């Protein structure tokens, strides 16, 4: 039986986390960040929310440093490779 790995994603548009099957990673749009692990509630900047401030001009949430530190760079590169092929 094939098991599908689930990736934790952070959306800068909603400021929320959601699980995504790894197979769907290639259809992900800009502003959705794959993470290795969830931010900790003990983070003294975001308290586990994953963002610090809201960009009122772009209507996006600014990811916390702890989110950026836990980015899954391998998957992020996959998303970007896919995107550059489409453009
Ligand atoms: Zn944080």
Distance in Å from the first CA to the final CA of the chain: 36
What's the CA-to-centroid distance between 15 and ligand 1, angstroms?
A: 12
pTM across the whole model: 0.87
Whole-angstrom Cα distance, residue 49 to residue 57?
A: 20
For the chain, how many helices (H) and strands (E)?
2, 5
Q: What is the structure's pLDDT at 82?
A: 81
Query: pLDDT (tens digit, 9 = 90+) per residue, 13-33?
Result: 999 999 999 989 888 988 999
The predicted structure's pLDDT at residue 4:
83
Ligand 1: distance of its center to the CA of 38 in Å?
A: 9
Low-confidence ranges of the chain (pLDDT < 50): none
């Amino acid at each position: 039986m094939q098991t599908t790995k689930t990736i934790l994603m952070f959306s800068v548009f909603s400021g929320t986390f959601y699980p995504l099957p790894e197979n769907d990673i290639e259809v992900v749009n800009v502003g959705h960040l794959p993470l290795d692990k969830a931010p900790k509630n003990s983070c003294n900047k975001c308290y586990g929310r994953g963002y610090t401030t809201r960009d009122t001009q772009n209507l996006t949430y600014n990811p916390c440093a702890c989110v950026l530190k836990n980015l899954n760079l391998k998957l992020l590169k996959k998303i970007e490779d896919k995107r550059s092929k489409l453009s």
